[in-house]
Structure formats: C-alpha cells, structure tokens
Amino acid sequence: MRIFKGIAASEGLSKGKALLHVRSSMVAEKQHIMAKDVQGELQKIHKAVERSKKALEEHQGPDISAEPAEILQTHLMMLSDPEYLGQIAQYISTNLVCAQWAVEAVTESMVSLLESSSDEMLKERSVDFRDVSLHLLDALSNRSQRTVKNLTEDVILVADSLMPSELFSMDKSHILGIALDGGGRASHVAILVRAFNIPSVIALGSASQKVHDGDEIIVDGNYGEVFVRPDLTAAQNLNERYARWQAHEQELRQMIDLPTRMTDGHEVLLKANLQTVSEIGSAKEVGASGVGLFRSEFLFMDSVGGSTEEQQFEAYKEVIEAMAPLPVTIRTIDVGGDKVVPGMGIDEKNPILGWRAVRFCLSRKDIFSVQLRALLRASVYGKLQIMFPMISGVEELNAVLHLLEHVKEECRTEQIPFDPDIKVGTMIEVPSAALCADILAKKVDFFSIGTNDLIQYTIAVDRGNEKIAHLFQPFHPGVLRSLQMIVEKAHQENIPVSLCGEMASDPLCSVLLAGLGMDELSMGSQSLLQVRKILRDVSFAEAKQLADHVMEMDSYLTITTYIREWMHDRFDHFTTI
C-alpha cells in the first residue's frame, strides 16, 4: 500500500479502479523558412487561432456554470491577445522560422516569466498559456490532444498533469475521483473539479509514477489523501471512513424538506447563489428558500459588448418562474474588478478600485437601462427582487433608484406590465456603505452583505494575492464589528439582512452569523444542507451568546481558535468524517 498526501481540491470520498492519464510531450516542428514564406506562416497562425477558438466555444452553453465559463473566456481572450499573437508573428518574421516553432518559443518565454514570479496566482496562470499553446499546436499539426472519452466503466483518474481544456473534454460521467501530481489551490483545474463536483486531491508529487491501470484507489477529498492498493487493515479503516461519509451525506439529504429552524424556534432563511439558469435544479433539490444572489453578468460572458434585452428577459423569466413562489434576488451586472467581460472596454491598472459594478452601470446607462427593463418585464412571472452591487454611498443609490423609476415610467407609457411592489435592495460590500448603513437602510427594502469584497476592502488585502492571503480573515474584529453594525442599522429600519459571501457557505461561520442577527444566508447549493443541519442543532440564544462573547475579543487568531473549539465541541461528528 502507498499513501500520497496532497491538497484537498474538491471534497468527497471515492473509490474505484485507477485509469492512468500521462501527458505525452508534444514536440513542435522546428523548420527554418524563406522570407517569401513568412506570410504563409502568419496565415497558418490566423487559421489555427480560429480553429482553437471554435474548439473552446464548443464547451460553452446554457448548462455551464460561472467558474468554468470564466475559465473558457480567459482562454478565448488569450487567443485574442494582441501582445501574445504579435510576439508570435514577430518571432516568425525576425527569426524566419515556422509557425509551430514560434508558438513554442514565445509560449515558453511567457511561461518562464510567470513561473519565476513569487505570486502563486501568476505561477498558476502559466498553465493556461501552455494549454492555449497546445490548442494552437494541435491546430497547426492537425493533431488532437489525448482526452479521456467514451468510458464504459467508473474510474479514478490518476494523472501527472491536466489542462483545463482536457477536463472540459473528458467524459466526466464515469470519473469518480481525480488524483493529480501537480496543481495548486488557485489553479483553474482546482476550480473546475469543484465546479464539476468530482472528489479530487492535487499536488501529490509523483503518484502517477507509482500507479498502474486497474489499481484499487481511494481518493479522500476531505483530508487530501490518496490510498493506492490499500492493505486489509487500511482498507477496513478507509471503508469505515467511507461509510461514515456516506451516512453523513444521507443525514444531510434528510434536511432537504425541513425549515432552518433553530431549537428555540428562531428561523434563518437559507437561499442559493446561482450563476446560470442551469443551476436552478440544484437549488430546488436542496430545498433552498429562494435565490439570494443570481449573478446576472454571466449573460454577458458569451456576447461581445453585452446581451440583448430579449435574451436577458428570457433568462430572468426562466429563473423566476422555476423558483416561484419563492423569491429570486437578481444582482444587476457586476463587471470589472476580477470579472472580465469581453467587449466592455474595461482595461485598468487597478481594476479592484476602478470602473466596476454600479460605477460602470451609471456611466453606461445604455446597457444598464436595457437590463432594468428586462428585469421589470420578467417580474410579473414570480417574486423578483433587484439588488445593486458596489454601492458606496447615498449619491450612487439615489442615481440607480432614479434610473429604475425612469425605466418603470417607460414601461407604463408602453403599457408593459411589471410588478409594482417589486423589492429593491443594495449590497453592502465597501466600508463606506457599512458606515452609512443607517442612511441607506431608509431607501431600500433589504440589505445583502457581500463579505468577499467587504473583507477585502476593510482589511485592505487583495483576496487573490497568495503573498498576503493569510491576512484575508473573516473573523477580523473590524469585519465582525462591521457586520454587527450593518445588522443593527438595518433592523432599526425594519429591513432584513442577507449575507451572500463565502462566509455564508462556511459551516464554521454559520452559528456566529445567526448570532449576529442575519436573517438570511445565501450560498452555493452544495453547502446549504450542511449549514441547515448545524443551525437546526443549536438555539438562537446559544448563537447570540457566542456572538456577544466573540465581539469582546481583540484578535482574529483568538476569535478563530475560540469559534473552532466551540463548533468542534458541539459538532464533533462533522470533524471525524
């Protein structure tokens, strides 16, 4: 038996027979050319780019969720990057070499530069450039990358490396788990295996060199361990762990039709975050109390310059009808920052603090008005709530509310029906909005706290920067005081508060958030049942006592340790799986 330890990339336990997938090295053809042949090679590059784009676009569609869609868009943008393609063209012209040679040389130069960076995120992006270059080399040589297709039995995939495009192309219906030699926490492969819900462990080192096709494998995506050819004792222990996991999953499934009511009767609504229309089924399957965040920007991912009113209307209508009579909160387009949408003209040196979200919408009212009109048209098909992101103060809120009233008046003039009682809310995700919560609460029907950005801006830490990732702390006293203040100011105006950031989906945060007075938590569907079970096992009085005690502490380290111990004392069955 061999045990490999790595990074738990996607939770779950799976066992089965190994299927080895080792990347065959692709050697680019290296030929010198004559000056008169340069134009022909440049034409080959142009055709290869178009073929590669077409191959990637085949993976797009209405069923793809947000993370895979964004990764596909990143690769498509790389294939349109004038700097990358310009360097390839220049390399051909200057060195008089064939197209394949130029693609390999330029890509290796860019990869070396990225891999030498101390920023882990940049290092991981080098994989994307390699992936894109392989598409180009395939197209130039009329070859196909090896993919795992048309499987006839369930397998555990063991690989030395995987490119995002390979994961897209694979027959995932028969892949029970993945064990990968390489990869990192920020890698696109790690993001994809979570999106595809495949138990996975990455960064195993040399597992693929020690495994043979058909070996018995157990992948533990909870603890980050992979067991190869387990002996009898280990197999028994792992079978017990697997049985506990299965029992835990079965216990969670029993939560589907139950309300999230704490032991003393206090109820917290648990809603789902959705990226695409196709995720509605997942939200309904776990008994979500509605949609707390529908990220409308995905509609703009597949179209250059935006999405038509009719396209948006149909998508909003489908979500609202499917969830009726439960409420659906749709966030207006939130582009910019780390959300890149082609054709919008957003290219800034400091995008996180730049032209993004409502700032973009107020300066592009042509796009924003179309979205508001589509939302109003769809509102008659169920219970729609409109939410504005990145509001920093009352001036911006007044501006968006004024524009909404203008679009309503247009609909009235054109006799287009819409829900006259539609609720409107704002996200609280920047410190200025938190400090002005009492002012903003007088103008809206609800608050939704976006903790991902609120933490980032409160502590002044880029959540995508691995060098300072340790500073991104949800239990920082400054963050918790902001949450407490937002809830107090909202409740003084009798409006509910939802929290839709990553904190909502973290079981460790759930009791504290309830104790702080959150009325709703909105999260990915995969986390909802776990949070529901936790909240149903404690009283609101206990949760409030926890929150009050924590608010007296002065350090996120102290708070984190205390909450972890408090939760483990009461929910040890969650930590022994």
> In the predicted model, is pLDDT for residue 485 greater than 90?
yes
**Mean of pLDDT values over 359-384:** 90
Does domain 35-141 match CATH 1.10.274.10? yes
Cα separation of 469 and 419, whole Å?
Answer: 44
- Report CA-CA distances (Å) from 246 to 76, 249, 251, 527: 39, 5, 9, 16
Cα separation of 436 and 539, whole Å?
Answer: 31
Compute how many other C-beta atoms are within 10 angstroms of the C-beta atom of residue 366: 8
Residue 117 confidence (pLDDT): 66
HSE (CB half, 13 Å, CA atoms) of 393?
A: 2
Residue 577 confidence (pLDDT): 40
Residue 463 confidence (pLDDT): 59
Residue 399 confidence (pLDDT): 93
pTM above 0.75, yes or no: no
- 356 vs 151, higher pLDDT: 151
Q: For residue range 490-535, what is the model confidence (pLDDT) as tens digits?
A: 999 999 999 998 899 888 999 999 999 999 999 988 889 999 999 9
Cα separation of 114 and 273, whole Å?
Answer: 33
**Mean of pLDDT values over 472-498:** 96
H-only helix segments in 227-308: 232-253, 280-285
- 253 vs 123, higher pLDDT: 253
Residue 182 confidence (pLDDT): 82
Q: Which superfamily is assigned to 255-574 in CATH?
A: Phosphoenolpyruvate-binding domains (3.20.20.60)
Residue 301 confidence (pLDDT): 58
Confidence of residue 194 (pLDDT cuts 50, 70, 90): confident
The continuous run of DSSP H or E covering 451 comes out as helix 451-459
> In the predicted model, is pLDDT for residue 303 greater than 70?
no
> In the predicted model, is pLDDT for residue 112 greater than 70?
yes
Cα separation of 354 and 54, whole Å?
Answer: 32
Cα separation of 41 and 511, whole Å?
Answer: 62
Q: Do domains 35-141 and 255-574 have the same CATH topology?
A: no
Range of lowest pLDDT (106-120, 347-361, 461-475, 560-574):
347-361
Residue 184 confidence (pLDDT): 72
- Scored b (16 or more CB within 10 A) or e, 88-120 reads bbebbeeebbbbbbbbbbbbeebbeebeeeeeb
Residue 352 confidence (pLDDT): 57
- 3-state DSSP call for residue 58? coil
> In the predicted model, is pLDDT for residue 63 greater than 70?
no
The continuous run of DSSP H or E covering 428 comes out as strand 423-428
For the domain covering 2-17+152-251, report its CATH number: 3.50.30.10
- 544 vs 335, higher pLDDT: 544
Q: For residue range 260-301, what is the model confidence (pLDDT) as tens digits?
A: 999 999 999 999 998 778 788 889 999 999 999 998 877 775
**DSSP notation for 360-421:** HHHH-HHHHHHHHHHHHHHGGGSEEEEEE-S--SHHHHHHHHHHHHHHHHHHHHTT----TT
How many residues appear in the chain?
577
Residue 307 confidence (pLDDT): 77
- 3-state DSSP call for residue 262? coil
* Sign of the alpha-carbon dihedral angle for 292, 424, 357, 132: positive
% of the chain with per-residue pLDDT over 70? 87
Range of lowest pLDDT (76-90, 300-314, 360-374, 484-498):
300-314
Q: For residue range 126-153, what is the model confidence (pLDDT) as tens digits?
A: 778 888 888 888 888 876 655 666 778 8
> In the predicted model, is pLDDT for residue 550 greater than 60?
yes
Cα separation of 508 and 561, whole Å?
Answer: 11
Cα separation of 173 and 233, whole Å?
Answer: 31
The residues annotated with a catalytic role in the active site are 188, 500
**Mean of pLDDT values over 216-227:** 88
The pairing of beta strand 7-10 with beta strand 216-220: unpaired
- Scored b (16 or more CB within 10 A) or e, 459-486 reads bebebbebeebebbbbbbbebbebbbeb
Confidence of residue 246 (pLDDT cuts 50, 70, 90): confident
**Mean of pLDDT values over 48-70:** 76
- Report CA-CA distances (Å) from 473 to 427, 433, 560: 20, 20, 9
- Report CA-CA distances (Å) from 35 to 42, 85, 106, 328: 12, 19, 20, 61
- 466 vs 369, higher pLDDT: 369
Largest Cα span, the chain? 83
Confidence of residue 67 (pLDDT cuts 50, 70, 90): low
Cα separation of 123 and 170, whole Å?
Answer: 25
Q: Which of 49-58, 101-110, 332-341 is most confident?
A: 101-110
Cα separation of 248 and 131, whole Å?
Answer: 38
List the domain boundaries for the chain: 2-17+152-251, 35-141, 255-574
Please give the DSSP secondary-structure letter assigned to residue 110: H
Confidence of residue 343 (pLDDT cuts 50, 70, 90): very low
> In the predicted model, is pLDDT for residue 422 greater than 70?
yes
Starting from the edge strand earliest in sequence, which strands make up the sheet with 155-159, in order? Answer: 2-5, 225-228, 216-220, 13-21, 155-159, 175-180, 200-202, 7-10
> In the predicted model, is pLDDT for residue 403 greater than 50?
yes
